Amino acid sequence: MAHEHHHHEVADVATLKGVYTVSIILNLAFVLIEAGVGLWGNSLGLLSDAGHNLSDVFSLLLAMVALRLAATRSTKTMTYGYRKGSVLISLLNAIILLVAVGAILVESVHKFREPVDVNGGAVAWTAGAGILVNGLTAFLLMKHRKNDLNAKGAFLHMAADTLVSVGVLISGVVISFTGWNFIDPVIGIVVALIILAGTWELLSESLRLSIDAVPESIDSDEVLEHMREVPGVEDVHHVHIWPISTTETALTAHAVIAEGAEPEATVAGIKHELKEHGITHATIETERSGHPCTDHECC
């Protein structure tokens, strides 16, 4: 069973790597087209969206690097390999998006002060292409978002970009029929706010994981309750849960073994229960009922 699970993980990593590669190529090509049309059509909406899509390309590249870091082996000096680097990359991705938000807001305010004519038709057609590219990328990342924070971040960004492209398309149509060029910087501000909303969750969870807080996907009270329900366990204490990477979680705990229970079988039962909660690295120290251990030694 463990052998089959290992091959499943390897296959999933290979699949996700392929998804990242295709997504990077698609989005980079679209960024070049969108930026070119934005400059030709003098559209802030397109240029700001192209800038954000370029940050998505970097985010996808970083996510691919994080995927490799999460698979690194341990060494004498790096006992968890470079897996923690995947958490730092998710934090860096969030920071990049915040910088993009600031840049878009500044440029939008500038456009309000000095409005220019916008080619609404070019904006609409390019945004329509963006809906296809961003939507396809989000679809490719959808099934991987639950297993990796970086994949989740990439999915949220691409899904938000799809909605943003819809907004840009609407602005292009409105400008074509009404000539209301002020709609362009308005869309730029809306783009920034949507990015900010999507980034906040990623930033929050990345900060939590970077300081070894319990991952948001894990309910520590529920984990403790289920550990205590394992046959042979009388009590559990000194529980610590922390992330090794964006995909792996570790736990250490002291388990009080009931009289007559077999410690090895009981610990195996605890570890099986922990795997059901997504905790794959567990170290359980045992002590007999009535003989509690101290912080410095455990029987």
The pLDDT value recorded for residue 2 is 40
Distance (Å, rounded) from C-alpha 149 to C-alpha 245?
A: 9
CATH number of 2-210: 1.20.1510.10
H or E element: which one contains 129? helix 120-142
The pLDDT value recorded for residue 265 is 92
pLDDT tens, position by position, for the chain (299 residues)? 444 343 344 446 677 788 888 888 988 888 888 788 778 777 666 676 677 678 778 778 888 888 888 777 878 888 888 888 888 888 887 887 788 788 778 877 877 777 666 666 666 777 788 788 888 888 888 877 777 778 877 787 787 777 777 777 777 777 777 777 777 778 778 877 877 877 788 888 889 888 989 988 889 999 999 999 999 999 999 999 999 888 889 999 999 998 888 999 999 999 999 998 889 889 999 888 765 555 444 44
Nearest Cα to Cα of residue 143 among 249, 16, 53: 16
Query: Any residues with CB less than 8 A from the CB of 58 and at least 6 apart, and which?
Result: 96
What are the DSSP E strand ranges found in the chain?
Answer: 233-243, 249-257, 281-288
Strand partners of residue 240: 252
The pLDDT value recorded for residue 292 is 55
Domain ranges of the chain: 2-210, 220-288
Q: Phi/psi at 283 (nearest 5 deg)?
A: -120, 115
Distance (Å, rounded) from C-alpha 202 to C-alpha 26?
A: 23
CATH number of 220-288: 3.30.70.1350
DSSP string, 193-240: HHHHHHHHHHHHHHHHHHTTPPPTT--HHHHHHHHHTSTTEEEEEEEE
The pLDDT value recorded for residue 255 is 92
The pLDDT value recorded for residue 10 is 42
